[in-house]
């Protein structure tokens, strides 16, 4: 099995890559930090990966996406699974007043993802097979006061995937939207952690299972499906007064 | 956040930082010029060894750096757990020479506590198989330490409870094995004397440990089961993947009472009655039986429990029966009691193991426990014994200094590498290894009541 992971430096990506490494898969990692990539590549080899390739990419440089994807293809020869994990959690207050900051976050969490999906869909269509899994967020289910810029970007990707899933169906390509809840990672280090928080390792296990079983929209951990169904059902007249 | 050791006592408010890489950790150290902190790995030390107002987690220092199958060594980050090491080394026919009772300890923690296993009499302790490690010092520099390079710092850090610096990564020596199955033979011991005889009799085996029933009094005092294990010859290098049960919340403290414990002990004793029965067990069953019940520490309730592990020198083994008798009389009950015979001590000033017997007792937290433990301390220290710091939550400064006569040697190294005591834990403050910090001590609560 050949796995491409974009945003390989994220805690969820690292934990997922380790599970595939333990299965003896070949992996190709794309991330921004070259030193971290090298560390991770060695780690995955020790953990059992057949071979590990790496490529440095800042996702904001859209014109370099094609090169990253073609390098991955060259290394893996066929991309059975592509997992897009990159993202950033912005400071909501700044993005509300500074549009340049908001646009940057929408790009990192939304547009750059769609750019990569476009390239990967073409690749997988040509292969006539593959699974495209994208990590979005429960934040995309409804715009909430503390993080609606982040949520808007994530819901853009989720909506895109809903349509793409049907488009790629005749080509044997499967599309999965993975929506993690609160995950204890360096990205969320500044938050107080309560009972709803889960670990990157647990989320990674769910991602691998979802890919194995060709699920469509995955909430991880699963109880987030119920929580978000409730959140979505709150009438606007009440919801607009909620600060969570 | 509220933080405690595995025993859930004591619990304190702590800022927990989890730097994503060694470089981030280094800059964190440079930017926090004031205040002290302690590094925390798997969180499996029982008391306050890894507690302070500020705690640095090693959880993202969890990369493997290299494995050399011919030399049988593995190099990995200090946040890697022994369980992850097993997953990597077993398929290659390698096995860690020293394994504790849980696979969830981190490599950094294993070094800091110089942990031991059921085979101490054969293999010594964890740091006896440590080739080298790199240590991040208080001044932000990184030093490679081994028995040959920076030897003083190496020995002080092995068993040094994280007080010399932050271990970033380490290179471990492994054993080559043909099988990870364990031939486990069990022998019933009528009483403590019989148990000690059995431990001596089987001293040639690789793994030897005894379970004791500390509730029985009179003639049955110290009845137990001696487990004797050796690697099987069935060429089994399979990883065991098991999903056990987990305790979802703290059970009420009275759940483990005298009655339920004695019932459990009776059941356990009769279940294992067989004399010399041999069973082929997988390594998880043999080494980590309690790991199969996730969060088993919650069975002791919200107030938690204390594990009391002490060393009694060989020549003072009579003290063991006095300790066990005192515990049985007290009615405090120890749910899990383990006896093991150690081999010789190594050269690390703060390492726990030394020639003699180590007795481990578990007690549910309650006010009346502390006077009992003080009494036991007097017995242990009076015969030249000592306490295992990784389990300790309440030992006195004088108790520590009596048990570890080489503590000043450790302090000399500490003064050299960490003159401002940047690395300190609640335990190190209690034991007089670092000055008491006023800013964080206010976080400490007398009891864990919320």
User: From CA B305, how far away is CA B293, in angstroms rounded?
Assistant: 17
Task: For residue B56, give both structure tokens.
Answer: 């640095």
Under the banding of pLDDT at 50, 70 and 90, the label for residue B142 is: very high
Residue B440 has pLDDT above 70, yes or no: no
How far is the alpha carbon of A176 from chain B, nearest alpha carbon, in Å?
A: 26
Average pLDDT for A55-61: 98
Q: Between residues 3 and 42 of chain A, which touch chain B (CB distance below 8 Å)?
A: 11, 22, 35-36, 39-40, 42
**pLDDT recorded at residue B292:** 83
Which residue on chain A is closest to B63 by alpha carbon? Answer: A43
In Å, how far from its chain's centre is CA A157?
10
In chain A, residues with a C-beta closer than 8 Å to the C-beta of B88 are: 46-48
Interface test with A, best of B22, B43, B56, B63 (most A CBs within 10 A): B63
User: Is the Cβ of B280 closer than 8 Å to some Cβ of chain A?
Assistant: no
Average pLDDT for A22-41: 96
pLDDT tens, residue by residue, A137-146: 999 999 999 9
- Select from B176, B54, B46, B63 the least CA-distant residue to B100: B46
Which residue on chain A is closest to B3 by alpha carbon? Answer: A193
Task: For residue B172, give both structure tokens.
Answer: 């471990």
Q: Is the omega angle on the peptide bond into residue B10 within 30 degrees of 0, that is, cis?
A: yes
Distances (CA, A) of B38 to A136, A190, B48, B162, B252: 35, 19, 10, 7, 31
In chain B, residues with a C-beta closer than 8 Å to the C-beta of A11 are: 20, 60
> Please, what is the average pLDDT of chain B?
90
Residue B442 has pLDDT above 70, yes or no: no
User: From CA B172, how far away is CA B160, in angstroms rounded?
Assistant: 18
- Domain A2-239, second-level architecture: 3-Layer(aba) Sandwich (3.40)
Alpha helices in B292-339 (DSSP H): 318-330
Residue B252 has pLDDT above 80, yes or no: no
**A219 counts as catalytic:** no
Alpha helices in chain A (DSSP H): 11-22, 34-46, 65-76, 92-97, 99-106, 112-127, 148-168, 200-212, 223-233, 236-239
**pLDDT recorded at residue B448:** 41
pLDDT tens, residue by residue, B55-98: 999 999 999 999 999 999 999 999 999 999 999 999 999 999 99
Average pLDDT for A23-46: 97
Strand order through the sheet with B130-136: B64-68, B73-77, B166-173, B130-136, B142-146
Q: Is the omega angle on the peptide bond into residue A140 within 30 degrees of 0, that is, cis?
A: no
In chain B, residues with a C-beta closer than 8 Å to the C-beta of A35 are: 23
Query: What is the DSSP secondary-structure string of B238-259?
Result: PPP----EE--SPPPGGGS-HH
- Residue B109: φ, ψ to 5°: -65, -40
Cross-strand pairs, A68: none
Contact state of B88 with A47 under an 8 Å Cβ cutoff: yes
**pLDDT recorded at residue B438:** 63
For chain B, what is the total number of helices (H) and then of strands (E)? Answer: 14, 22
Kindly report each contact of residues A104-108 with a partner whose C-beta sits within 8 Å and lies 24 or more positions away, as own/partner: A104/A60, A105/A149, A105/A150, A105/A153, A106/A149, A106/A152, A106/A153, A106/A156, A107/A60, A108/A59, A108/A60, A108/A153
Class of domain B182-401: alpha beta
**pLDDT recorded at residue A185:** 84
Task: For residue B249, give both structure tokens.
Answer: 């919340």
Helix (H) or strand (E) holding B440: helix B438-441
pLDDT tens, residue by residue, B260-308: 777 777 777 676 665 567 889 999 989 998 888 888 888 888 899 999 9
In chain B, residues with a C-beta closer than 8 Å to the C-beta of A17 are: none
């Amino acid at each position: 099995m050949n796995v491409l992971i974009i945003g390989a430096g994220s805690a969820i990506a690292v934990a997922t890559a380790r599970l595939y490494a333990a299965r003896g898969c070949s992996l190709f990692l794309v991330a921004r930090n070259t030193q971290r990539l090298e560390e991770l590549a060695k780690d995955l080899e020790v953990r059992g990966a057949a071979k590990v390739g790496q490529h440095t990419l800042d996702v904001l440089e859209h014109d370099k996406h094609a090169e990253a994807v073609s390098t991955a293809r060259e290394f893996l020869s066929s991309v059975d699974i592509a997992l897009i994990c990159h993202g950033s959690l912005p400071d909501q207050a700044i993005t509300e007043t500074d549009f340049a900051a908001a646009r940057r976050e929408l790009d990192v969490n939304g547009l750059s993802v769609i750019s990569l999906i476009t390239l990967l869909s073409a690749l997988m269509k040509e292969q006539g097979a593959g699974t495209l899994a994208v990590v979005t967020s429960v934040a995309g289910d409804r715009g909430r006061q503390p993080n609606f810029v982040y949520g808007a970007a994530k819901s853009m990707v989720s909506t895109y995937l809903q349509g793409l899933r049907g488009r790629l169906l005749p080509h044997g390509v499967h599309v999965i939207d993975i929506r993690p809840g609160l995950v204890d990672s360096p990205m969320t280090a500044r938050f107080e952690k309560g009972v709803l928080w889960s670990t990157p390792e647990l989320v990674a296990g769910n991602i691998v299972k979802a890919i194995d079983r060709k699920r469509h929209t995955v909430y991880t951990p699963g109880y987030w499906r119920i929580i978000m169904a409730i959140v979505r059902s709150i009438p606007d007249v009440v919801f607009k007064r909620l600060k969570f | 956040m509220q933080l405690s050791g595995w025993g859930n006592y004591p619990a304190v408010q702590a800022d927990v930082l989890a730097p994503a890489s060694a470089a981030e950790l280094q800059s964190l150290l440079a930017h926090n010029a004031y205040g002290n902190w302690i590094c925390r790995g798997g969180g499996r030390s029982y008391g306050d060894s890894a507690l302070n107002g500020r705690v640095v987690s090693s959880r993202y220092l969890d990369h493997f750096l290299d494995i050399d199958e011919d030399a049988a060594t593995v190099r990995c980050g200090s946040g890697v757990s022994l369980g992850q090491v097993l997953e990597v080394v077993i398929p290659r026919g390698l096995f860690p020479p020293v394994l504790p009772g849980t696979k969830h300890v981190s490599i950094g923690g294993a070094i800091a506590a110089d942990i031991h296993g059921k085979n101490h009499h054969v293999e010594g302790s964890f740091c006896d198989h440590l080739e080298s490690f790199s240590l991040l010092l208080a001044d932000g520099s990184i030093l490679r330490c081994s028995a040959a390079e920076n030897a003083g710092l190496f020995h002080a850090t092995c068993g040094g409870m994280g007080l010399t610096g932050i271990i970033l990564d380490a290179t471990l020596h492994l054993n080559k094995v043909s099988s990870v199955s364990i031939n486990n033979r069990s022998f019933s011991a009528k009483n403590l004397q019989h148990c000690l005889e059995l431990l001596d009799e089987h001293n040639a085996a690789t793994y030897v440990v005894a379970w004791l029933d500390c509730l029985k009094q009179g003639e049955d005092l110290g009845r137990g089961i001696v487990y004797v294990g050796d690697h099987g010859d069935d060429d089994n290098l399979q990883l065991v993947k098991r999903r056990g049960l987990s305790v979802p919340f703290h059970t009420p403290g009275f759940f483990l009472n005298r009655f339920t414990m004695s019932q459990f002990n009776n059941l356990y004793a009769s279940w294992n009655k067989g004399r010399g029965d041999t069973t082929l067990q997988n390594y998880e069953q043999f080494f980590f039986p309690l790991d199969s019940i996730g969060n088993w520490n919650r069975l002791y309730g919200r107030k938690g429990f204390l594990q009391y592990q002490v060393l009694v020198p060989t020549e003072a083994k009579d003290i063991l029966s006095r300790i066990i008798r005192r515990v049985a009389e007290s009615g405090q009950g120890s749910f899990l009691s383990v006896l093991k015979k150690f081999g010789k001590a190594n050269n690390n000033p703060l390492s726990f193991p030394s020639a003699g017997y180590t007795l481990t007792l578990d007690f549910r937290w309650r006010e009346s426990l502390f006077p009992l433990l003080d009494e036991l301390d007097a017995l242990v220290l009076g015969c030249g014994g000592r306490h295992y710091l990784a389990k300790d939550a309440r030992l006195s400064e004088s108790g520590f200094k009596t048990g570890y006569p080489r503590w000043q040697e450790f302090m000399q190294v500490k003064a050299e590498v960490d003159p401002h005591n940047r690395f300190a834990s609640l335990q190190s403050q209690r034991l007089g290894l670092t000055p008491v910090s006023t800013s964080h001590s206010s976080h400490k609560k007398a009891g864990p009541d919320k």
